[in-house]
Structure 1
Amino acid sequence: AGETATVTFTFRESVTGFGTEDIQYDTSKGTLSALTAVGTDGKVWTATYTPSSGIESATNTIRVNLAGVLDAQGNAGAGSASSGNFSIDTKPPEVTVTISDSHLSAGETATVTF
């Protein structure tokens, strides 16, 4: 909880037309900031991923749909590329407390379970 991650998108060559609309991920589990170009060659882009609170998920990826991305010659990308899996755990610990006897008299004991 409270952490963010930098997501880096690295292309083999300079691209245009790359935007957040090309990025697919489960928006119920977090948000991605606007893209920022790294350098001036159009090959590397970053964004900040912020997980939502109260999430516990072992299976997450960020995918790029390449159809809207163009190289310098105007060739459109094809297919998609996906990040490796990452986990999210922003869910706070929880506890349930039970007692074996809710009406105790003098000399009695009860088991309290956490």
Structure 2
Amino acid sequence: MYKQFNAVVFILSLALSFNSYSWDKIVSGKVLRISVNSPASSKRNVMVKLEGGDSMCSLSSNNDTAYINKSEAPDTYDVFVSMLLTAKATSTGVKLYIDKGQEGCQIHSLDLL
């Protein structure tokens, strides 16, 4: 009985130790287009569109691109942009972890594949 209890406690603590954050959508593909906007015209400083044209998040509109906002990610903004430019220049795939943002689908994490 004691061993079973310890096993249950161990499994529960292991399960709870993982990041339980759930993204709105995770999309993968090659970068088709990168667009840059003036902060005066849009909060979407850098917008990304992947090949294939699938929706980037579950919004009913404004979901064909995903964006990075410098004011919301000042510490990692330059790294995001560098990784996206590298992916575009080398035709390397990316995986984008996206949530709904103020102006559409907002990128919160990025992997080069």
TM range (shorter): under 0.3
* TM-score, normalisation: structure 1: 0.20
Largest Rg, 1 or 2:
1
> Which has the larger helix fraction?
2
* TM-score, normalisation: structure 2: 0.20
